[in-house]
């Protein structure tokens, strides 16, 4: 029942929202106040101690500022600088596009949404930061532009459209015994988008109460696109389990790039292979516990994973018996968090012990130094009542409204200066929630279920610890959650296991607890929070206040939860899009993470929750112990008030640059593969070349039209310390600044390689994918004289001024002869033309820019308009946007479909496009297709060495497309056989018919093999993995394919093609492959 805390009410009456405002007294509470020194908040400062759950609030001053508003000391908090987090997802009504509203945006900021470069909205968007575009498709690309005072500002990064509301992030699994576990996010690369750090947990990980040796924890970092950044191995002297390695991903030093912080030991190996401590030490005892040997706290570089600084870990282990047992369980219960202890910059918080002895140490990482701020020890005089109050997690919040963070450590709290703020004596619990749960009273509240002690669950005042309401329970209340799930009640509902039930914010019981007592996410378009759990698989449910039950809204297919019965996702956080949250699970094969985003529209406009520092730090500590959902400092729910404006200072990697002409932060390691490149000027589109192909010293370097000539190619040679020599492929001479001049406008020329600094260049990447080429000796950059776009304009050095003539694209030059082949593709179909195609397509997927070429050796003359050649397609749909270099039996030209379902055009049919070939037609056999952003260039050549531009057209594709070899017979019922050779730039893996082809086509790879015929049909490989799981050739993988495979298991067509049907990957074909195919389906 609810414990009565106010003698003005009858027993059992719920406490109303303002019954315990700061400064109120409990009439029956025995008081115990201990002054602890000089006040830092302009008022008397006392440690509040509650014995047996009875409150004392003597000497508490009048309530301070509303917690959740700007910090009370007028400080501004350092925060990461984010991009707009644009995400676009295909939905039933078109495409749902969502983006971030910054906490620093003007109140009246509006937005314009651009699809494929054209504005999609009629008037600036003001009623939310999401938009359903009914005309969008999965081939569209989107960008957003903020509108301030009627003027458009800088455009966001453009994004493609997700076909499903999830993104797979591929992982590099360390071994079959490892599974991705907890994850966190931070900007590790300084590009304004979140990257992911994931903890790999081995099969033999142990709870602290269990003996046994474990394999080490491993940490990986990835971009959201799945690009691996680094790997750190904690080694054998840090045991694997839920409580041993809490980790932090946060920008602690204010350089705009997050660091990675974790407890380490002898044998920890950073991403560069550097070993911390003694690499040969093994401190494990016979039971697998590590109760001796050094412990460290290490800060790692977030971009490279290299150790930055290591110090002895505090709180130190000492005598294991003082923590609650002697065998090694309670001594190694660790917590970690991020707190703004000075109100401005984040500090590292690490805790040890919570069943008995409790210690917390805080650190600052500034300017490369890791320094201890303070340590709290429950064994120190006056701190005894703080022992045994900790939880399996902590929370960080500004509890007293002074602008500085406090640490909620279970049933007690520490002030920002390391002194006790309050302790309750209500003891340890398994769950903890802190936020503005009762919005009609000042300050924050803390909801906690308890494992032992006088109460089963409690709601208390965040600053004083005074009980607002309590509930008795018989025994351990192991689960508890707080969230506004019922629109009929203002404030947050709280519920817990073991009979606690569902409680309104004031403590009134309003029903039985929902079955899900786990994680949360703001997901739908309303302000209520949804329930995230694992109920026969990861799911998301919504509370229905009418039926008093939950309804499943989302199943998260192909995923698994973590931590056994805890059923945790890897992470829930506002990672992308508007203020609503994403849910990150591990994929069920443990080879990827799967990030789910909401498919719902909303008209509620809130700034990104990551710009609320309490929420942001909660995301940072979410991985700690028993994972808990993050809460902001303000109330979100039915009848909510306008959120307070956060006082934050977003800091990016270049925020410290005072002079935009300064060059800082240049690469200090190789960052571009040593290879041959074209250097393409972003301003003119011309390439860097040696004038006239001159091979002499001092020859002029200029820009010129790209003809793919040798003197337009440059070899990059890494020479150490981040610098390169840029060597002309035609002459073998180096690009240099003439006379080693340090003046603006100095000429750039070629000269014999001599190793001098004026021949050394830094290739500094820019946000748009281009590079600035910085001369090592002068810190000036390569540009074009006067910003000219003319052929023959000289290359010069100049101070960096952000102009486009100082930006260069590095396009790899692939060898055009000696490529893969031969390939044979047989394709039927009426034509590749009009608004829909019929052909056979031997292809693969490609992301971003590419450069590919092939020689078309023969096209069977099934019709004068039979076609074969290189093609780029937006999708496999018959009406997809595409471009093709078509070779007929007599000529080569270019055609393209500029819009989905639109009419196909070509230069020969009068369409506009730049070409160096008269009439747009040639008889050359060599084809080359280049994509650079929205520019698609088609080239032709007689010898594969000297190329002519056949056509340059502008086509807006999404980032990911299909590229490959297309063949159509232009004669229904007949296949056209085309042969190709010297294919460069791709390895086709998928063989498909496109459109309503009446005779299936085929394709054979460079090894001359073709998929075998089974029962008169040729199997296909729908997913392009090299295995032909569509055995019956109908284009789908179903149980019918298992039957066909079993019936033909012993035939030559199967037994002679082990590479095509070895589904269990054991090198031979047998019944086990049938079972594996069945399992996969």
Residue 463 structure tokens = 């600053």
Distances in Å between the alpha carbon of 868 and those of 242, 522, 535, 886, 976? 58, 51, 52, 5, 9
CA 43 to chain CA centroid, Å, is 44
* pLDDT, block means (10 residues), the chain with 1081 residues: 28 28 29 27 29 26 30 72 97 97 95 95 96 97 94 91 97 97 97 97 95 97 96 98 97 96 98 97 97 98 98 96 96 98 96 97 96 96 96 97 97 97 95 97 97 95 97 92 96 96 96 95 97 93 95 95 90 98 97 98 97 98 96 96 94 55 66 84 95 92 88 90 90 94 95 94 87 94 94 95 93 71 93 96 89 93 96 95 96 94 88 72 91 85 78 87 96 94 88 93 65 65 76 82 85 76 84 86 79
Question: DSSP string spanning 6-42?
Answer: -TTS-TTPPPPTTTT-TT---TTPPP-EEE-SS-SSS
Residue 875 structure tokens = 């999708």
> Counting every residue, how long is the chain?
1081
Strands 771-775 and 761-765: antiparallel
918's CB contacts (< 8 A; 6+ apart) are: none
Q: Over the stretch 949-998, which tens digit does the pLDDT of each residue have?
A: 788 888 988 888 999 999 999 998 999 999 999 898 888 888 999 999 99
DSSP letter (8 states) at residue 565: G
**Distance in angstroms (rounded) separating the CA atoms of residues 28 and 24:** 12
Distances in Å between the alpha carbon of 287 and those of 210, 213, 239, 332, 1078? 9, 7, 11, 14, 42
Q: Which class in CATH covers the domain with range 823-1010? A: mainly beta
Closest by CA to 382, choosing from 780, 814, 32, 824, is: 32
Residue 554 structure tokens = 């989302």
**Cis upstream peptide for 315 (omega within 30°):** yes
* Sign, CA torsion 508/532/427/462: negative
34, 49 Cβ separation under 8 angstroms = yes
965, 840 Cβ separation under 8 angstroms = no
Residue 188 structure tokens = 């590790």
In 684-740, which ranges are E strands? Answer: 687-690, 701-704, 714-720, 723-728, 734-737
DSSP letter (8 states) at residue 429: -
Residue 753 φ/ψ, nearest 5 degrees: -60, 125
Question: DSSP string spanning 826-887?
Answer: EE-SS-EETTEE-EEEEEEEEES-EEEEEEEEEE--SSTT-EEEEEEESSSSTT--EEEEEE
CATH code of the domain occupying 676-812: 2.80.10.50
Number of other CB atoms surrounding residue 843 within 10 Å: 25
Q: Over the stretch 67-115, which tens digit does the pLDDT of each residue have?
A: 333 334 457 999 999 999 999 999 999 999 999 999 999 999 999 999 9
**Cis upstream peptide for 1031 (omega within 30°):** no
DSSP letter (8 states) at residue 613: H
Burial readout 887-911 (b: 16 or more C-beta within 10 A, e: otherwise)? bbbeebbbbbbbebeeebbbbeeeb
Distances in Å between the alpha carbon of 410 and those of 288, 407, 467? 29, 9, 14
Residue 910 structure tokens = 């009068």
pLDDT at 847: 86
CA 933 to chain CA centroid, Å, is 23
419, 425 Cβ separation under 8 angstroms = no
Question: DSSP string spanning 890-934?
Answer: S-EEEEEE-STT---EEGGGT---B-SSGGG-B---EEEEEEETT
Q: Where are the domains of the chain?
A: 78-162, 676-812, 823-1010, 1014-1081
pLDDT at 297: 98
Closest by CA to 885, choosing from 848, 847, 852, 845, is: 852
pLDDT at 1024: 65
CA 464 to chain CA centroid, Å, is 39
Q: Which class in CATH covers the domain with range 78-162? A: mainly beta
**Distance in angstroms (rounded) separating the CA atoms of residues 841 and 848:** 20
**Distance in angstroms (rounded) separating the CA atoms of residues 458 and 428:** 12
């Amino acid at each position: 029942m609810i414990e009565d805390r106010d003698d003005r009410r009858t027993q059992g009456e719920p406490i109303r929202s303002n019954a315990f405002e700061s400064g109120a007294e409990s009439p029956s509470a025995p008081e115990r106040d201990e002054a602890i020194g000089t006040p830092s908040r302009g008022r008397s400062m006392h440690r509040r101690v509650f014995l047996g759950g009875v409150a004392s609030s003597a000497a508490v001053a009048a309530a301070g500022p509303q917690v959740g508003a700007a910090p009370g000391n007028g400080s501004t908090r350092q925060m990461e600088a984010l991009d707009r987090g644009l995400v676009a997802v295909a939905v039933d009504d078109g495409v749902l596009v969502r983006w971030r509203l910054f906490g620093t945006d003007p109140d009246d900021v509006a937005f314009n949404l651009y699809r494929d470069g054209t504005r999609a909205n009629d008037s600036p968007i003001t009623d939310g930061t999401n938009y359903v575009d009914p005309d969008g498709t999965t081939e569209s690309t989107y960008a957003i532009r903020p509108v301030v005072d009627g003027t458009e500002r800088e455009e966001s990064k453009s994004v493609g459209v997700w076909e499903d509301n999830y993104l797979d992030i591929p992982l590099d699994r360390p071994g079959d015994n490892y599974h991705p576990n907890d994850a966190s996010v931070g900007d590790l690369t300084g590009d304004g988008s979140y990257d992911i750090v994931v903890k790999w947990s081995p099969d033999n990980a142990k709870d602290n109460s269990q003996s046994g040796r474990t394999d080490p924890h491993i940490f990986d970092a990835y971009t959201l696109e799945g690009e691996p950044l680094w790997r750190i191995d904690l080694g054998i002297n840090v045991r694997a389990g839920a409580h041993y390695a809490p980790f932090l991903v946060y920008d602690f030093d204010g350089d705009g790039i997050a660091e990675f912080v974790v407890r380490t030991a002898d044998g920890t190996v950073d991403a560069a292979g550097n070993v911390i401590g003694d690499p040969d030490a093994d401190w494990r005892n016979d039971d697998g516990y590590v109760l001796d040997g050094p412990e460290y706290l290490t800060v790692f570089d977030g971009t490279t994973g290299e150790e930055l600084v290591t110090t002895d870990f505090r709180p130190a282990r000492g005598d294991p018996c003082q923590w609650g047992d002697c065998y090694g369980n309670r001594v190694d219960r660790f917590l970690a968090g991020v707190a703004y202890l000075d109100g401005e910059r984040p500090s590292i918080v690490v805790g040890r012990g919570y069943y008995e002895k409790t210690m917390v140490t805080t650190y600052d990482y500034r300017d490369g130094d890791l320094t201890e701020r303070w340590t709290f020890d429950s064994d120190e005089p006056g701190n005894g009542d703080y022992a045994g109050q900790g939880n399996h997690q902590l929370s960080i919040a500004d509890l007293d409204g002074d602008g500085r963070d406090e640490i909620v450590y279970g049933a007690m709290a520490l002030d920002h200066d390391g002194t006790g703020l309050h302790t309750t004596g209500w003891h340890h619990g398994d769950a903890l929630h802190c936020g503005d749960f009762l919005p009609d009273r000042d300050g924050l509240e803390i909801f906690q279920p308890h494992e032992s002690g006088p109460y089963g669950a409690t709601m208390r005042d965040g600053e004083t610890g005074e009980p607002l309401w309590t509930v008795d329970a018989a025994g351990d209340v192991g689960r508890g959650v707080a969230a506004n799930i019922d629109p009929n009640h203002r404030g947050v509902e709280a519920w817990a296991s073991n009979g606690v039930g569902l409680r309104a914010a004031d403590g009134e019981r309003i029903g039985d607890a929902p079955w899900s007592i786990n994680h949360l996410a703001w997901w739908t378009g309303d302000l209520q929070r949804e329930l995230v759990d694992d109920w026969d698989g990861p799911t998301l449910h919504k509370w229905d206040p009418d039926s008093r039950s939950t309804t499943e809204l989302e199943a998260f297919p192909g995923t698994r939860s973590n931590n056994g019965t805890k059923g945790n996702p890897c992470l829930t956080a506002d990672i992308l899009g508007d203020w609503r949250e994403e849910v990150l699970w591990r994929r069920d094969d443990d080879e990827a993470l799967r990030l789910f985003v909401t498919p719902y529209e909303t008209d509620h406009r809130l700034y990104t929750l990551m710009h609320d520092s309490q929420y942001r730090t909660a995301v940072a500590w979410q991985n700690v112990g028993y994972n808990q959902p993050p809460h902001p400092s303000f109330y979100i729910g039915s009848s909510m008030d306008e959120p307070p404006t956060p006082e934050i200072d977003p800091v990016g990697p270049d925020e410290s640059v005072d002079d935009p002409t300064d060059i800082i932060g240049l690469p200090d390691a190789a960052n571009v593969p040593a290879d041959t490149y074209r250097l393409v000027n972003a301003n003119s589109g011309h390439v860097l070349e040696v004038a006239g192909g001159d091979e002499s010293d001092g020859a002029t370097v200029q820009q010129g039209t790209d003809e793919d000539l040798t003197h337009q190619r440059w070899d990059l040679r890494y020479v150490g310390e981040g610098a390169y020599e840029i060597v002309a492929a035609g002459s073998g001479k180096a690009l240099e600044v003439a006379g080693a001049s340090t003046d603006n406008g100095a000429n750039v020329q070629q000269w014999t390689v001599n190793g001098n600094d004026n021949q050394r260049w830094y290739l500094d990447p820019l946000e748009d994918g281009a590079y600035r080429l910085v001369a090592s000796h002068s810190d000036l950059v390569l540009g074009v004289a006067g910003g000219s776009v003319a052929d023959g304009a000289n290359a010069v050095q100049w101070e960096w001024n952000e102009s486009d003539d100082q930006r260069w694209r590095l396009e790899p030059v692939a060898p055009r002869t000696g490529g893969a082949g031969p390939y044979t593709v047989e394709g039927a179909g009426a034509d590749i033309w009009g608004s829909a195609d019929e052909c056979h397509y031997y292809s693969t997927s490609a992301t971003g820019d590419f450069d590919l070429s092939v020689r078309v050796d023969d096209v069977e003359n099934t019709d004068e308009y039979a076609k074969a050649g290189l093609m780029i397609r937006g999708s496999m749909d018959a009406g997809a946007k595409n471009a093709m270099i078509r070779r007929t039996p007599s000529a080569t030209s270019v055609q393209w479909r500029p819009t989905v379902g639109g009419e196909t055009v070509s230069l020969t049919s009068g369409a506009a496009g730049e070409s160096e070939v008269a009439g747009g037609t040639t008889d050359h056999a060599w084809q080359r297709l280049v994509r650079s952003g929205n520019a698609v260039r088609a080239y032709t050549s007689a010898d594969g060495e000297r190329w002519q531009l056949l056509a340059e057209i502008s086509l807006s594709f999404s980032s990911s497309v299909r590229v490959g070899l297309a063949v159509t017979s232009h004669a229904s019922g007949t296949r056209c056989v085309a042969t190709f050779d010297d294919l460069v730039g791709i390895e086709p893996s998928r063989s498909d018919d496109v459109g309503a082809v009446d005779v299936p086509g085929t394709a054979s790879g460079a090894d001359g093999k073709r998929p075998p015929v089974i029962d008169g049909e040729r199997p296909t490989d729908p997913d392009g993995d090299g295995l032909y799981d569509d055995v019956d050739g109908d284009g789908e993988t179903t149980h019918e394919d298992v039957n066909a495979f079993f019936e033909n298991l012993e035939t030559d067509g199967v037994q002679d093609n082990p590479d095509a049907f070895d589904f269990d990957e054991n090198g031979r074909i047998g019944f086990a492959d049938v079972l594996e195919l069945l399992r996969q389906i």
